[in-house]
């Protein structure tokens, strides 16, 4: 069953990348820019889901457009490392704080499990969430997560706490 879910996720990812690439460059750039504040996005690198650079940037952020499985986001390199590690099921640690912006929320994406980064079926999870505008924060020491809520009903909570990909979620507005 687990292998079927992984295969389904990979197939969906390939489909998503192909459909996102079918969108025109300007549409993808506008979508990616919706993820962060102008002070971040104005000089951020913008990439298509397949990694193709749509616009070179000059700051430490890379922004990505809406995809079927995740909303638009602007990441520092630490976040790209976290996501790459998660997709490849490798360990992840960070030696610094890092922020990812998702100010457009999940958009049309289906959301995620708050406890299992590999869950793919909302109806088979008791903690499936779809967030509105939020920030995500990686911390350099997992001990900094102790004492924080894991309840997604709270304005600040820890997602994927018992995994190497644990991070703090900070809601900044209600879902649109």
pTM of the model: 0.84
What backbone phi and psi angles, to 5 degrees, belong to 130?
-135, 105
| Tens digits of residue pLDDT in 117-166 | 999 888 888 899 999 999 999 999 999 999 999 999 999 999 999 999 99
Q: Is 96 exposed, middle or buried (0-12, 13-18, 19+ CB in 10 A)?
A: exposed
Polymer length in residues for the chain: 176
Q: Where are the domains of the chain?
A: 2-171
Sign of CA dihedral 64, 15, 133, 151: negative
Q: What angle do CA 98, 14, 10 make, to 5 degrees?
A: 75
| Tens digits of residue pLDDT in 41-69 | 999 999 999 999 999 999 999 999 999 88
Residue of 164 and 19 predicted with greater confidence: 164
Q: Which helix (H) or strand (E) holds 69?
A: none
- How far apart, in Å, are the Cα atoms of 100 and each of 4, 73, 89, 123? 30, 7, 20, 27
Residue 28 CB contacts under 8 Å (≥ 6 apart), including other chains: 20, 46, 48, 54, 65
Q: Which helix (H) or strand (E) holds 26?
A: helix 25-33
* Helix residue spans in 42-145 (DSSP H): 77-87
Give the percent of the chain with pLDDT over 90.
79
């Amino acid at each position: 069953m687990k292998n079927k879910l992984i295969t389904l996720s990979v197939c969906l990812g390939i489909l998503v990348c192909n459909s996102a690439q079918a969108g025109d460059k300007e549409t993808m750039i506008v979508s990616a820019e919706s993820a962060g504040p102008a002070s971040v996005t104005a000089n951020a690198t913008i990439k298509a889901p397949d990694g193709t650079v749509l616009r070179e940037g000059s700051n430490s952020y890379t922004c990505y457009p809406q995809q079927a499985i995740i909303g638009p986001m602007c990441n520092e390199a630490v976040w790209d490392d976290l996501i790459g590690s998660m997709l490849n099921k490798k360990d992840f640690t960070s030696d610094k704080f890092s922020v990812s912006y998702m100010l457009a929320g999940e958009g049309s994406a289906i959301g995620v499990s708050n406890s299992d980064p590999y869950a793919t079926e909302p109806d088979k999870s008791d903690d499936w969430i779809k967030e509105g505008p939020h920030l995500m924060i990686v911390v350099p020491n997992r001990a900094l997560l102790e004492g924080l809520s894991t309840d997604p009903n709270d304005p600040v909570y820890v997602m994927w706490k018992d995994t190497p990909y644990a991070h703090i979620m900070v809601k900044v507005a209600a879902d649109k």
